[in-house]
């Protein structure tokens, strides 16, 4: 059906894809597995006409094709469901779907609805065509994306990390849909870095590492350990063991309420002791970000929050200076791209570098060099703008800055999101080191394995309410999944 | 053939694309001159002629003075996302402040100092009001500062036609002459009021130092480039915005003081006080890419265009506003060059 031969793509000195050959047949699901930065997204972008390959060719049903643009990809019957839904929030589902159709410049709404109704008849994906997209859940939005991709009856469907925004139950529904499409003869390329999904869904699995295909296995040959070995190039280390917590109470939260649109954080209470890690799971948008930002002083809230026995101020700079580190949800919030690595490492403490009113850049850069070495930040120099660093290195910059002062409380959201396995291990090691030294950690993550590996207590946010916490010993993936999806412990 | 993003272009490539686009702008400009029946080469020569003799240079300098003062302040304001396009009005308010001190306060050794202080303060008030509206109510400063230009404009018209109209000016719309103590010294026979020039150079250097070497400037850069990070750090966005707006309004007010005290010696009709310096300075600041120090180069460049436009007007009786076309093409070329240097062209399909 679709065959890639010897695809190579370079970005300056960086080789994103090197000599990759892949094939996917009718009615087959091919999984592309690899860590972040392995070259999956580049490969998909080439297939979807966003980049031109430097070398190699693409064959569709035996004929060589060129794909200069996404439009061309669609005409050839290649459809993509992007990782994050790219819909227009203020418009209705029908209007968003209309973008996937070749419509005349002026068209009647009723005609559109009729045509969509006819097209969607054989797709058992109930979505209200008249609903505004902004009212939809992440899972529904993705269904709309999928529908849009299917409208033009593609031959090849590409799904880019489709489950990253879904609850386990929604993911289940998606898998069933993919199985159905497969039976209809569609060729599916499924991109993921989650092993379970890949094993559940794929007929064949191609593993990418550092831009190269390092292996291709049939489902029968594949197992978790083998795949991980291929992905990281070595055996996975056992999950780090968390140290037992001490008695001293670091953080007490009582009846925390965060007002905002949708679900506020409602009446959250918990207690964190020194050396303790509380892992909080939850479907994206259940109040995780609001909870953490409130504690960090970024949002107004009601309720009692005591840190080492004192009421916590509601001002980010003062909260930090008391010893509360904050690893924000989005890396882009934690750094300033156009400023240098040294400046970003000093983002919390720059006033301290003032000598006679002027910043002492030499001291700042010297300190930055030491931190860069300690945290293995890969950058040409402390003066390099952070914008030029990879995601993992940006995360290391944030960690280095937030953790260097030996914080007593660490508010961490997705600390390893988009970081490769090696770097993630390092991040976990650092967090646990600090816990061993007596820091309390509030860890919010979408990665249940991460939560289970690090935490002493686990909890889930469900529509702004905290479910739990329960001790780690009595928790497992299934129970945590239920807490997230149904709000019961 | 297609375009791809080039996030880190080499300096050579940047220089080449700027050069190429400037040549393109000059080429397009040639058609304008041809349409006037003027040889483009002669016109280019004339446009650059102020560089060749001392008097021409003085003309460039005189126009660079307000551009420098305003441009330095605007480059700071633009850097933090305060889009002050009301510098023209702030300049006029500065002129009003200066005229008040010169005409109605008893002259003395501190007259000039007071003129600068009151002029600057009125300019700052004009900009500060818009900043306050934005911080307090979220009103777009682009609209408010623009509208305040008209308020200032007609305030000046009212003053010179009404209460401040001079006793000995017959039908003309301007005030009496300022007393000698309210006049700025000039360089020789030129119109270069050097104290204001020094102020401008000082302001550009000082703001540059402030922005890139002080903790306060550090926080401004954080706020300007990533408001999310500013929130994360707990920076006081409203207060920083207000202070920057006040600074840029203050400097625009200085420019107004310089024009009336250095050149005209009286308050007159707004269009005669300023040749749209407040708007041209937006280009000065934009070209300086948020670096106040670079306005030391870009202000004279735009000053040269204004002076060259004068020469074109005299030599070919072209309308003076031809300088707008020149400045516009220049701006387009520079925007184009910026975009071009950030992309690379792939010739293969």
Same domain, B26 and B80: no
What CATH code is carried by the domain that includes residue A106? 3.40.50.300
Q: Are residues A300 and A383 in the same domain?
A: yes
> Given A197, A232, A267, which residue is the final one in a domain?
A232
Report the run of H or E that residue B345 belongs to, with start and end.
Answer: strand B343-346
Q: What is the pLDDT, as a whole number, of residue B164? A: 92
> Would residue A305 count as lying in a domain?
yes
Contact status of A328 with chain B (Cβ, < 8 Å): yes
Return averaged pLDDT per consecutive 10 residues of chain B, 349 residues in all.
Answer: 71 85 89 86 86 90 95 94 94 97 92 96 96 94 95 95 86 89 89 94 96 95 93 93 96 96 93 90 89 94 87 80 80 83 70
In the predicted model, what is the mean pLDDT of chain A? 84
Domain count, chain B: 2
**A162 and A285 together in one domain:** no
CB nearest to A336's CB, from B7, B215, B226 = B226
Is A206 in the same domain as A312? no
Per-residue pLDDT of A280-323, as tens digits, reads 988 767 788 889 999 999 988 888 999 998 999 989 999 999 99
Res A224: pLDDT: 75
Closest residue in A to B7 (Cα) is: A388
Full residue range of the structural domain in which residue A196 is found:
2-232
pLDDT tops 70 at residue A122: no
Residue B49 lies in a domain: no
Which of A232, A257, A272 represents a domain boundary (last residue)? A232
Rounded Cα distance, A88 and A378, in Å: 37
Gap from A344 CA to chain B (nearest CA, Å): 10
Q: Are residues A340 and A435 in the same domain?
A: yes
Integer Cα distance of A192 and A162 in angstroms: 8
Point out the residue among A319, A350, A388 whose CB comes nearest to the CB of B218: A350
Structure tokens at A30: 């091919």
Q: Supply the range of the domain harboring residue B10.
A: 1-38+320-349
pLDDT of A217 over the 90 cut: no
Q: What is the pTM assigned to this prediction?
A: 0.76
Same domain, B185 and B264: yes
Residue A298 has its nearest CB partner, among B226, B231, B346, at B231
Do residues A431 and A329 share a domain? yes
Distance from CA of B253 to the nearest CA of A (A): 27
Position A418 pLDDT exceeds 70: no
All residues of chain A having their beta carbon less than 8 Å from the beta carbon of residue B233 are: 316-317, 347-348
pLDDT above 90 for A171: no
Measured in whole angstroms, the distance separating CA B270 from the mean position of its chain's CA atoms is 16
The two structure tokens encoding residue B43:
């016109």
**Residues B311, B332: one domain?**
no
A326 contacts B232? CB cut-off 8 A:
yes
Per-residue model confidence (pLDDT) at position B2: 67
Going by C-alpha positions, the residue among A54, A50, A51, A61 that lies closest to residue A3 is A61
Determine the pLDDT at residue A14: 67
pLDDT one-digit tens code per residue, A252-281: 999 888 876 655 788 899 999 998 999 998
Domain identity same for A67 and A203: yes
Q: Cβ of A354 and B214 within 8 Å?
A: yes
Do the chains contact at A358 and B213, CB–CB below 8 Å?
Answer: yes
CATH number for the domain spanning B128: value is 1.10.3470
- List Cβ neighbours of B137 (8 Å cut-off, separation of 6 or more): none
| Chain B residues near any Cβ of chain A (below 8 Å) | 2, 4, 7-8, 209, 213-215, 218-219, 221-222, 225-226, 228-229, 231-234, 346, 348-349
Residue A235 banded pLDDT, cuts 50, 70, 90: very low
Domain endpoint, select from A232, A262, A281: A232
Inter-CA distances, B218 with A348, B39, B251, Å: 11, 50, 21
Domain count, chain A: 2
Q: How far apart are CA B11 and CA A59, in angstroms?
A: 39
- Distances from the Cα of A89 to the Cαs of A93, A131, A253, A388, B111, in angstroms? 9, 10, 35, 31, 60
State the pLDDT at residue A145.
Answer: 85
Convert the pLDDT of each residue in A98-121 to its tens digit.
Answer: 777 767 777 777 777 777 777 776
Q: How far is B18 from chain A (nearest CA, A)?
A: 22
What's the rounded Cα separation, in Å, for the pair B133 and B148? 12
Which pLDDT score is estimated for A262? 56
Residue A63 within any structural domain of the chain: yes
**Can you read off the two tokens belonging to residue A328?**
């924000």
**Are A205 and A279 contained in the same domain?**
no
Whether A169 and A300 map to the same domain: the answer is no
pLDDT band per the 50, 70, 90 thresholds, residue A12: low
Q: Is residue A89, in this structure, part of any structural domain at all?
A: yes
A89 C-beta neighbours (distance < 10 Å), count:
12
Instruction: Give the 3-state secondary structure of residue A366.
Output: helix
- Domain shared by A307 and A437, yes or no: yes
Binary contact (A353, B215; C-beta < 8 A): yes
Q: Which helix (H) or strand (E) holds B3?
A: strand B2-5
B316 CA to centre of own chain: 27
Average pLDDT over residues A444-463: 86
- Judge if B176 and B276 occupy the same domain: yes
- Name which of A203, A200, A201, A229 is nearest A214 in CA terms: A229
Same domain, A70 and A179: yes
Decide if A449 is inside a domain. Answer: yes
Would you say residue A243 lies in a domain? Answer: no
Determine, yes or no, domain membership for A204.
yes
**A200 and A349, same domain (yes or no):** no
Same domain, B10 and B85: no
Q: Does A353 touch chain B (CB under 8 A)?
A: yes
Query: Which residue of B213, B214, B232 is in closest CB contact with A334?
Result: B232
């Amino acid at each position: 059906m679709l065959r890639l031969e010897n695809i190579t793509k370079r970005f300056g000195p960086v080789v994103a894809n090197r000599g990759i050959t892949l094939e996917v047949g009718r009615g087959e699901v091919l999984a592309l597995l690899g860590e972040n930065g392995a070259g999956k997204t580049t490969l998909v972008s080439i297939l979807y006409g966003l980049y031109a390959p430097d070398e190699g060719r693409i064959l569709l049903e035996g004929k060589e094709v060129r794909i200069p643009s996404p439009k061309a990809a669609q005409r050839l019957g290649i459809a993509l469901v992007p990782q994050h839904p790219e819909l227009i929030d203020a418009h209705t589902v029908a209007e968003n779907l209309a973008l996937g159709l070749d419509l005349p410049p002026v068209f009647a709404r009723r005609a559109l609805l009729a045509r969509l109704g006819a097209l969607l008849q054989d797709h058992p994906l109930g979505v209200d065509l008249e609903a505004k997209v902004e009212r939809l859940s992440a899972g529904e939005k993705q269904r709309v994306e999928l529908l849009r991709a299917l409208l033009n009856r593609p031959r090849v469907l590409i799904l880019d990390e489709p489950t990253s925004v879904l609850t386990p139950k929604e993911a289940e529904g998606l898998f069933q849909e993919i199985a159905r499409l497969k039976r209809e003869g569609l060729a599916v390329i499924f991109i993921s870095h989650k092993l379970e999904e890949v094993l559940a869904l794929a007929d064949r699995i191609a593993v990418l590492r550092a831009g190269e295909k390092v292996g291709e296995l049939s489902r029968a040959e594949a197992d978790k350990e083998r795949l991980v070995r291929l992905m990281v190039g070595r055996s996975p280390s056992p999950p780090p063991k968390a140290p037992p917590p001490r008695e001293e109470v670091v953080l007490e939260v009582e009846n925390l309420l965060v007002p905002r649109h949708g679900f506020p954080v409602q009446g959250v209470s918990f207690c964190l002791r020194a050396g303790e890690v509380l892992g909080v799971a939850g479907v994206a948008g259940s109040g995780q970000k609001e909870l953490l930002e409130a504690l960090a002083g970024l949002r107004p809230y009601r309720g009692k929050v005591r840190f080492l026995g004192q009421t916590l101020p509601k001002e980010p700079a003062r909260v930090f200076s008391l010893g509360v580190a904050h690893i924000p949800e989005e890396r882009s919030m934690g750094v300033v791209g156009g400023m240098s690595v040294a400046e970003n490492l000093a983002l919390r403490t720059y006033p301290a570098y003032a000598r006679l009113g002027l910043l002492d850049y030499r001291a700042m850069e010297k300190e930055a060099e030491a931190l860069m070495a300690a945290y293995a930040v890969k950058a040409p120099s402390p003066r390099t703008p952070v914008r030029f660093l990879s995601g993992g290195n940006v995360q290391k910059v944030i960690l280095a800055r937030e953790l260097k002062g030996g914080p007593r409380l660490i508010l961490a959201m997705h600390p390893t999101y988009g970081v490769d396995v090696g770097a993630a291990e390092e991040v976990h090691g650092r967090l646990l080191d600090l816990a061993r030294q007596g820091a309390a950690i509030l860890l919010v993550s979408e990665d249940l394995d991460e939560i289970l590996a690090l935490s002493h207590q686990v909890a889930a946010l469900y529509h702004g309410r905290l479910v739990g916490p329960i001790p780690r010993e009595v928790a497992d993936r299934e129970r945590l999944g239920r807490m997230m999806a149904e709000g019961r412990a | 053939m297609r375009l791809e993003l080039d996030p880190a272009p080499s300096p050579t490539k940047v220089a080449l694309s700027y050069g190429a686009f400037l040549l393109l702008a000059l080429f397009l400009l040639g058609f304008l001159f041809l349409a006037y029946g003027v040889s483009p080469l002669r016109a280019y020569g004339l446009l650059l002629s102020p560089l060749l003799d001392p008097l021409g240079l003085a003309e460039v300098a005189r126009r660079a003075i307000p551009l420098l003062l305003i441009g330095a302040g605007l480059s700071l304001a633009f850097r933090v996302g305060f889009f002050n396009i009301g510098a023209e009005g702030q300049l006029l308010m500065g002129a009003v402040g200066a005229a008040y001190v010169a005409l109605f306060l008893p002259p003395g050794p501190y007259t000039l100092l007071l003129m600068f202080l009151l002029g600057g303060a009125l300019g700052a008030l004009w900009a500060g009001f818009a900043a306050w509206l934005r911080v307090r109510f979220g009103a777009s400063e682009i609209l408010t500062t623009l509208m305040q230009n008209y308020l200032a404009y007609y305030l000046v018209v009212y003053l010179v036609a009404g209460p401040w109209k001079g006793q000995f000016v017959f039908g003309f719309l301007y005030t009496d002459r300022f007393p000698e103590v309210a006049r700025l010294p000039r360089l020789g026979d030129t119109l270069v009021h050097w104290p204001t020039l020094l102020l401008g150079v000082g302001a550009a250097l000082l703001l540059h130092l402030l922005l890139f070497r002080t903790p306060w400037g550090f926080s401004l850069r954080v706020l300007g480039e990533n408001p999310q990070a500013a929130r994360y750090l707990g920076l006081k966005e409203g207060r920083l915005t207000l202070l920057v707006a006040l600074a840029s309004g203050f400097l625009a007010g200085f420019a107004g003081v310089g024009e009336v005290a250095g050149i005209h010696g009286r308050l007159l009709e707004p269009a005669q006080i300023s040749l749209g310096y407040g708007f041209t300075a937006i280009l000065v600041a934009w070209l300086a890419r948020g670096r106040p120090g670079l306005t030391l180069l870009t202000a004279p460049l735009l000053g040269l265009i204004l002076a060259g436009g004068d020469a074109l007007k005299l030599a070919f009786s072209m309308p003076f506003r031809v300088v707008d076309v020149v400045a516009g093409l220049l701006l387009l070329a520079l925007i184009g060059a910026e975009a071009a240097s950030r992309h690379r062209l792939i010739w293969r399909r």
